[in-house]
A and B are shown apart, each in its own frame.
Chain A
Amino acid sequence: MIAETLTVSRADFERRTGWQLKPEGACKGDICVPLADNSDGEVVDLASLADQLNMPLVHDEAHGIWALGPESIGSRALSTVEAPNLTLPTLDGDIFELHSLRGKKVVLVAWSPY
C-alpha cells in the first residue's frame, strides 16, 4: 500500500491490505490480532498498525511516500487459505473482483508479456 501521509482512510487500509478492523482487533481469514489502540474512526495511523501487525513501512524520503508491505505472521506467504479479494482492472479499465466468482472453481494464472 502506497501512502503520502501516515494517516490514511480506514476503508483504504482495509481494501488494500485485506485486514478488517473490528472491535476484537484486526482480522483476516480466521486470524484476529488484538490492537492496543483500536480506533473506530474514519482514519487510522499507518505506523501504529504496521508495528502491531508486523508489516514493514518503507519510506522514500526524497519523494515523500511510504510503502506498507504485507504482514509476516507465521513463516509462509499465505497465513490463511481464504483467497483475498484480488481487485484488478481489465484491459479496458473495468474493475474485476475475484470474489465475484464465488460458487465456481477458479484457476488464477499469472503470465507476463516479457
Chain B
Amino acid sequence: MWQAFRDEVKDQGVEVVTVGIDTAGPEACRAFIEAADPQHPSLIDEHHRVAELFGVVNIPNAVWIDEDGLIVRPAETSPAPPSVGVQRAPNQRAMENPPKRIVEMMTHASQIIYDAPTYEAALRDWIEKGVDSEFSLAPAEVIDRSGTRNSDTSRGHAHFEMATHLELAGNHQAAIGHFRMAHELVPDNFAYRRQAWSLEPSVDGPLARFWQGPLEGQEADWPYASDWVTDVKEMGAHNYYAEWTP
C-alpha cells in the first residue's frame, strides 16, 4: 500500500522509507518486502533503533521529516493510505478452522480503532503545502508529543539493545531477562513486548510469530509478565492506538 502511495506522490518531492523492526532479521522480513516490491528505501532494524531515536512505540508508526531534515510530526499511528489499493501480506489469507487463540486475537484486533482516511488526507495536505499545512507542527509541539523519556525509559532502551544483541548472538535465554527489564521500564512501547513474545517457541506454520503468548498447557513456561491477549483485554482494544490528534 505504501508502495502504491509512493508511486503516486514521488514526483512531489517526497520519499517513503519503510523500516522493518525485527530482531529475527532480514530473512524474517524478506517475504513481506518481496511481496510489496518497494521502489523506495526499505530497511531492516534488528535493534529497534527507531524506538530510541524517534519514539516509535508500536507498528505501524510514522515520522514526518521536512526537506531540511527537521521532524514535523513525531512517531504516531500511521495506517497505510487506503485510497490506493490493498495489498495483502503473505500468509494472512483467511484460514479454515483457526485455533481458538487466533480467533480470540482476531476478535480483539477487529475492535482496534484507527482512522486511515483522515491520516492519509493530513499526509497529502502536508505533501502539498509543506510548512503551511496545519498538520506540520512547530518544533516545541513535535518535542512535546514525542513520548516520555526519563532515566527509567533510557535504561529500558539500553536493556532492549542488550537483549537484541544477546538474541542475535544466539543466547536466547540470556536475552529474556533484558527483554523483561525493557518491558518494565518502557511500558509505553508495545513493539518491545510483541518483539519478545514473537521470539518464543510457538505453533508450527505461518501463525508462529503471531501467536504472541503461551501455548495451551504450557502457561507455566511462559517467561513474560504478559502476552498479547491479556494486555489487549486489559487496555481495551479501542485503546490499542492513541487517538490521532491533528
Using a CB–CB cutoff of 8 Å, the interface residues on chain A facing chain B are: 1-2, 18, 54-58, 60, 62-63, 65, 67-72, 74-84, 86, 88-91, 93, 96, 98-99, 101-114
Contacts of B142 in A (CB 8 A): 78, 81
State the Cβ distance, B84 to closest chain A Cβ, in Å.
14
- Of B20-28, B102-110, B232-240, the one contacting chain A is B20-28
Given contacts A89-B44, A106-B15, 14 further A-B contacts (CB under 8 A): A58-B158, A63-B166, A67-B161, A72-B149, A72-B150, A76-B144, A77-B146, A77-B149, A78-B71, A81-B70, A83-B70, A101-B15, A106-B65, A113-B24
Contacts of A56 in B (CB 8 A): 151, 154-155, 158
Contacts of A75 in B (CB 8 A): 148-150
Contacts of A62 in B (CB 8 A): 174
Given A56-B154, A56-B155, A78-B54, A90:B44 Cβ within 8 A? yes
Contacts of A2 in B (CB 8 A): 161-162, 165
Give Cα A72–Cα B55 distance, bound, in whole angstroms: 13
Q: Are A111 and B65 in contact (CB under 8 A)?
A: no
Q: What are 30 A-B pairs at a CB distance below 8 A?
A: A1-B161, A54-B154, A57-B158, A65-B165, A72-B154, A74-B143, A75-B148, A77-B52, A77-B54, A78-B71, A78-B143, A81-B70, A86-B53, A88-B19, A88-B45, A88-B49, A89-B26, A91-B26, A99-B69, A101-B65, A105-B66, A105-B67, A107-B14, A107-B123, A108-B17, A112-B22, A112-B194, A113-B22, A113-B209, A114-B28
Contacts of B19 in A (CB 8 A): 86, 88, 108-111
Contacts of A86 in B (CB 8 A): 19, 43, 49-50, 53-54
Q: Are B21 and A111 in contact (CB under 8 A)?
A: yes
Contacts of B205 in A (CB 8 A): none
Cβ-closest 3 pairs across A and B: A69-B158, A77-B55, A114-B198
Q: Are A98 and B17 in contact (CB under 8 A)?
A: yes
Give Cα A78–Cα B64 distance, bound, in whole angstroms: 13
Q: Are B68 and A102 in contact (CB under 8 A)?
A: yes
Given A76-B144, A77-B74, A101:B17 Cβ within 8 A? yes
Interface centre among B14, B41, B49, B54 (most CB of A within 10 A): B41
Bitwise interface map of B from 84 to 99 toward A, beta carbon under 8 Å scored 1, else 0: 0000010000000000
